Amino acid sequence: MNKFFERRYVVTGIFITIILALLARLYYIQIVDDRYALYASKNVIRQFVLYPARGPILDRNGKILVQNEPIYDITVNPKEVKPFDTLAFCKLIGIDKPGFDKRFTKAVKYSPNRESIFEKQLSVELYASFQEKLFEFPGFYVQPRTVRTYPDSVAAQFLGFIGEAQDRDIKRSGGYYRPGDYIGVTGVEKAYEEVLRGQRGVKNMMVDSRGVPKGSYANGAFDTVARSGERLTSSLDIDLQKLGEKLMQNKLGSIVAIEPSSGEILCYVSSPTYDPNLMVGRERGNNAAKMYNDPYKPFFIRPIQAQYPPGSSFKPLSALIALQEGIINPNETFYCTGNYRAGNRIVHCNHGEAHGTVNMARAVAESCNGYFSMVFQRIVDRYGVKRTEANFDAWRANVMKFGLGARLDLDMPAEGRGNVPTPLHYDNIYHKGGWRSSTIVPLAIGQGELLATPLQMANLECTIANHGFFYKPHLIKAIGAENVIKKEYTEKNYVGIDPQYFEPVIDGMQAVVDNGTGRRSKIPDIVMCGKTGTAQNPRGEDNSVFVAFAPRENPKIAIAVVVENSGEGAHWAAPIASFIVEKYLKGKITPRESGITVDYFANANRLPDLSLYEHDLQKERRRDSIRSVRIDSIKKVKADSIKKAAQTKTAKNNRSSSFGDFLAGRRTIK
């Protein structure tokens, strides 16, 4: 009896202890620790990603080049989708049933349990009608976003465009980007992506059983705020940019204008261009496909990617190197007969014109090929033909100090290098020791293998305007409200030419415009120093080139203009450049003594005949064909490998199964 009563007390004590422990644990879970409440609340809480607005981009005077407008993405979580009227859904967002099926299959393939983009970039109007009936479509949600809009539709190649982050972007970002995020693809949008994109936020919302938001969770205690991207102030002058694009319509080529005292790019025209608004919205893919197939290549960024022989615009540089090296003096004369013999080569002046006795300034003004061929040969031969390679290498090094043959580190992706040929290049063609100054004399007049981008040509004019140095060209002059600028854009880059040697060269450049080849482009009341160029072109007419800076004293603008397939620089490039220069310096364009007008050049069509590019188009088609064949071959090899591996695995499984059955049979027999 006593043992029974003792056992009863023990059991009762155990039960009381367990009850007290459970009550204590419940108190801790419900009162002290809120983690479990959070876990439970996830059934009625939905996280909304808050995408920040990308930073706006302004011109140098504060005018808006690109800003944002609201759009809405539809997302889907396949696990939460229940039967609904798909035809009504499709009608609301403007797609068809096959399109719905394709999108939903893609979402399931991505993840049946995670949310992903179903349809992108609904307009405000579509969103309004869809939002009213959202509760009828369980598993579908609306995600507010912003996209770019371009009020003036200019500077497309400068601004670039954004697009959906690809797998490679997601991988490189270390997890920052997710499928459906937008990222800069070209231009400033790409170069300054980390500055423009801002920082995402998260908002936790209470939702009912139908997924309809019912208010903020915990009064926003667990929310994070989205931070908008930084504002960028560009160096472009929008009025100058508009004029440049107007002048270059229906032409191939580019305009680059730079402020010599800072390296800030004032005008950055690539022609043909396109309306950047075409790269926004639900038709973006179709619009892009059309432009990619355009034989005139509007996506090709000519100011930094096109590479041309600089032609006669290169001659002032040759003169400066010769002066610095003591090869010539400004007053030394040369008698031009219209033809210059360099070994077995004959170098003709333009149209065989005989310039007679010329000094340096007049040789620049009259663009005398013979004079500069003589100068080049003196430089390369000055220590004898046995040292041709070393002398040429020294000449090449001096040329590259002016920014030719290498990237200028513009704050923009895809900049080209141009080309200043190496001695090795000629060794490979003529064998080592098998070439002389006469072999490569076309370099003297900016021809041969010498290539430069329009940006490099404009930068060369900045160097001459500054009497021996340049600031690295750049397109963004300030970041954010604090007007931050990269340090490298404030440093002078000297080219190793004494300032005293620039004056005779500049005298010749002024004479080009005052009474030389560029006289039709003379600007009233402004002293402009320039150089016309007629660069050889393997297809059609030569390229029209003109480089200049103005005014002569305290220069405010340096410019390079290239109009492809348009003949002499004086005919097309020079007048276009003069309009840009006058617009920037005066704010208007005044009547010219020569009678040239903006409307004439803006309305002229200089697009080359497409048949001239048929050879290149055929080469591209062949490359695409070969690429397709290779891809198909790779796919076939992979498919065969996968099939073979599957067959091998099946055979192994069959063998294993048969062996297992055999053993099982033996065990059964036993």
Q: What DSSP string describes 287-316?
A: HHHHHHT-TT-TTS-HHHH--B--GGGGHH
CATH number reported for the structural domain that contains residue 216 in this entry:
3.90.1310.10
Per the CB < 8 A criterion, the answer to whether 376 and 427 are in contact is: no
What's the pLDDT tens digit per position in 317-337?
A: 989 999 999 999 999 999 999
Are residues 575 and 648 located together in one domain of the fold?
A: no
Q: Which helix (H) or strand (E) covers residue 101, if one does? A: helix 97-110
Instruction: Say if residue 639 is in the same domain as residue 574.
Output: no
Question: Is the torsion defined by CA of 28, 30, 32, 35 positive or negative?
Answer: positive
pLDDT tens figures, 381-431: 988 888 999 999 999 999 999 999 999 999 999 999 999 999 999 999 999
User: Is residue 40 a part of any domain in this protein?
Assistant: no
Please check whether residue 377 lies inside any domain of the structure.
Answer: yes
Q: How does pLDDT run across 572-630, given as a tens digit for each residue?
A: 999 999 999 999 999 999 999 889 999 999 999 999 887 766 555 565 555 555 544 45
The dihedral over CA atoms of 304, 59, 285, 200, expressed in degrees to the nearest 10, equals 110
Total domains, the chain: 4
Q: What per-residue confidence (pLDDT) applies to 58? A: 96
Same domain, 484 and 629: no
Would residue 51 count as lying in a domain? yes
Examine residue 298 and state whether it is found in any structural domain, yes or no: no
Q: Is the pLDDT of residue 669 over 90?
A: no
Dihedrals φ, ψ of 215, to 5°?
A: 130, 170
**Domain termination residue (choose one: 589, 608, 627):** 608
> Do residue 407 and residue 279 come from a single domain?
yes
Whether 146 maps to a domain, the answer reads yes
511 and 424 within one domain: yes
- The one-letter amino acid code at 145 reads R
Among 206, 234, 262, the domain-final residue is 234
Cα of 168 vs its chain's centroid, Å: 17
Which one of 192, 215, 234 terminates a domain?
234
Please indicate, yes or no, if residue 643 is contained in any of the structural domains. yes
Whether residues 604 and 617 fall in one domain: no
Task: Report d(CA 403, CA 27) in Å as an integer.
Answer: 75
> Domain check: are 264 and 146 in the same one?
no
| 297 inside domain | no
For the entire predicted model, the pTM comes to 0.82
CATH of the domain at 574: 3.40.710.10
User: 323 and 202 in one domain?
Assistant: no
Contact 567, 541 (CB under 8 A): yes
**129 and 195 fall within a common domain:** yes
Q: What is the pLDDT of residue 637?
A: 47
Looking at the domain assignment, is residue 491 inside a domain?
Answer: yes
Which of 590, 558, 611 has its CA nearest to residue 263? 558
Asked if 656 and 525 sit in the same domain, the reply is no
- 274 and 138 share one domain: no
CA dihedral angle for residue 610, residue 614, residue 618, residue 621, rounded to 10 degrees: 0
Q: E strands along 337-456, which residues? A: 339-342, 345-348, 356-358
Instruction: Count the residues in the chain.
Output: 670
In order, the DSSP letters of 161-172 are -EEEPPHHHHHH
Do both 617 and 569 map to the same domain?
Answer: no
Domain that holds residue 129: 45-234
